[in-house]
Structures are given as structure tokens and as C-alpha cells.
Homo-oligomer: A and B are copies of this chain.
Amino acid sequence: MTLDLDPRNTARLTISCADRKGIVAAVSQFLHHHGANIIHSDQHSTDPQGGQFFMRMEFHLDGLDLARDQFERAFQKEVAGPFEMTWKVWYTAQPKRMGIMISKYDHCFLDLLVRKRRGELDVEIPLVISNHDTLRGDAEMFGVPFTHVAVTRANKAEAEAEQARLFAEVGVDFVVLARYMQILSGDLLQALGVPVINIHHSFLPAFIGANPYRAAFERGVKLVGATAHYVTEELDAGPIIEQDVARVTHRETPETLMRLGRDVERQVLARAVKAHVEDRVLVSGNKTVVF
């Protein structure tokens, strides 16, 4: 083992399959045999008897005796095929390309821009699409391409087609709805063809819908929360990646509740995006495994 391994020369292998004996042995044997140096390994089994198995391994490529395409062919043939695995490998040398969709709220958007700029999020941001022109200045301040695509009831289908086309043109690995105040149609989700992460401004499943802070205020809750989840066709029902809450008191107005909630939104979305970027989130039905 050499002491000068390049920390960026690693790969992350994520796997899910029906649980059965010998999976861990097969995967670790394969990597061991080909000279990969495993740095992290996580696994989860929903139920050892007939459940689903999930695994995430991060390993150095330095000692690997296979080129990328050789690795992928060999792994599919020797391990993934026999165990009928759903799997992928991500090479960390390549930052993920993150598309962003926004409306008028800037708190989550600015937070992502600041974290990207500070090097906390290893991403490129090839495009921001907004249905309002409000935050163009913020995007420009951070040197991020911004396009305004107006969405009305009348033009929704064309607007969505345009959004899909724009993202396809630049190429994105995933899309973040940083308080995008429109519902994405199933057609758009399919056209995008990449994971879409949304931040919902409540502790789902409480206060589903359009005005959760008002609803929270009226119910007199003592905590407000936020939920980051993958978007599915069913509104607010996609797999939850991360949630958190902040304590509030009877002193809050709808405005202070919202302000406290926005701090939670920022944090929750940032954690979810970071976990996604690092290939830590595996989807399991309508839930997630977050390693």
C-alpha cells in the first residue's frame, strides 16, 4: 500500500438486489482480487429473510488492475449478473452536474451557490431555470448560467418541454428544486430522466400542500420542519432523503415561523444534496437508504 494515493482517484459502487447469502463475499472477493483498496463500505438489509439488500463501497482506483470499461464488464459478468443486481459506479474525479429550478425564494438557492463556491458541494451548475426573472442577479453574482422560462396555465406543456430541452442541452446528472413553486408533470420527470430533489417546507407528511407555515401557525405546533425528497408523480409523496425541525414557541408570528423554517429548509436541502452527490442515497421503494 503506497502512501501517496490520490484522494480524488476513487470510485463509488452502489448496489441493490434481493437479499441472499454470499453477496458481500462475492463483491469483496471481486474487488480484493482485482487490487481495489476499499475505503468505505456500508450495507443494509431490509429483512434478512427475503428482503432487499443495499451496498455502497468506495475504493481507490490506484491499485486496480482493470480499466473502467473492463471493470464494468467484469463486474457485471462475474458478480452483478449472477445476483441480478441493480448497480452503478461513479468516479469521483468527475463532479456531478446539478441543474437547479427556482421561483422567487432565494434562501435555498443562495445556500447552494455559497456551498458550491466554498467547495462544500462537489458539483458543477451548468444551468438554473426559473419561472420568474427575480433571482437572475443572484445567479449572475455567482457566475451561474440562468434562464427564465415563464410558466402559465396555458403554456405549461410547452414550458416544460423547453425546460427539459434546456437541461438536456447542457447535460445534468440531477436536478434540485430549490423552492420551485410549480408541480412537475410526469412528462417532465420522464423527459428529464435524472433524479429530482425537492425541498418541502414542512415535516412531511404533516402539512402537505401549498401553505404549510400558515397551517403550522394555525395548528399551534411547537416544532417546524422541512423535508427533502425525491420527486415522483405523486405530490409530496416521493422517497424522503432528509428531515429536520426547529423548536418554535407561542411567540412566533407566521413571519418568524417562516424565517425559522427557512433555516431548516436550507440545512435539510444542503444535507440531502450532499448525500446525493456522494452517492449515499439508494432508493428502496418509496423510501431511501442513506449511508
Contacts and interface: CB of A to CB of B under 8 A. Distances in A.
Contact of A284 (B3, B240, B250): B250
A1 interface: yes
Contacts of A48: 5, 37-39, 60
B250 A290 contact: yes
Interface residues of A, number: 69
The 7 A-B residue pairs whose C-beta atoms are closest, nearest first, are: A220-B287, A206-B206, A25-B28, A24-B28, A250-B289, A222-B243, A25-B32
Interface of A: 1-3, 5, 20-22, 24-25, 28-29, 31-32, 35, 37-45, 48-50, 60, 106-107, 110-111, 114, 117-118, 120, 141-142, 203-207, 219-223, 225, 239-245, 247, 249-251, 259, 263, 267, 270, 284, 286-290
Given A24-B41, A106-B118, A223-B243, 8 more contacts: A5-B48, A21-B35, A25-B32, A42-B42, A205-B207, A205-B221, A219-B286, A250-B290
